[in-house]
């Protein structure tokens, strides 16, 4: 039952950003990378797909917070 004993499966969550380059979040360990690879460089999970996550919604909310004072 070791953490690294068996192959984990996961997927990339692609975060599209307005003001930054896109990033990819591992669904298993939640670490963020600038590009997708076939396995997670951090936890070693085998990536089966990439899902889109509209991260720009967060960016817009952040702008609201800045100008909402």
Point out which residues bind Zn ion (CB under 5 A).
26, 28-29, 40, 42-43, 45
Residue whose tokens read 């991260």: 55
Q: How far is the CB of 29 from Zn ion (least distance, A)?
A: 3
Nearer to Zn ion, 13 or 40 (CB): 40
Nearer to Zn ion, 6 or 67 (CB): 6
Q: How far is the CB of 26 from Zn ion (least distance, A)?
A: 3
Nearer to Zn ion, 9 or 20 (CB): 9
Residues 6+ apart with CB under 8 A from 34: 21, 22, 23, 24
Do 64 and 56 contact (CB within 8 A), yes or no? no
- Helix count and strand count (H, E) for the chain: 1, 4
């Amino acid at each position: 039952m070791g953490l690294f004993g068996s192959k984990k499966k996961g997927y990339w969550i692609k975060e599209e950003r307005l003001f930054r380059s896109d990033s990819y979040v591992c669904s298993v360990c939640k670490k963020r990378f600038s590009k997708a690879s076939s396995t997670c460089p951090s936890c070693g999970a085998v990536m089966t797909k990439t899902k889109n996550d509209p991260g720009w919604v967060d960016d817009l909310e952040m702008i609201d917070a800045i100008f909402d004072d």
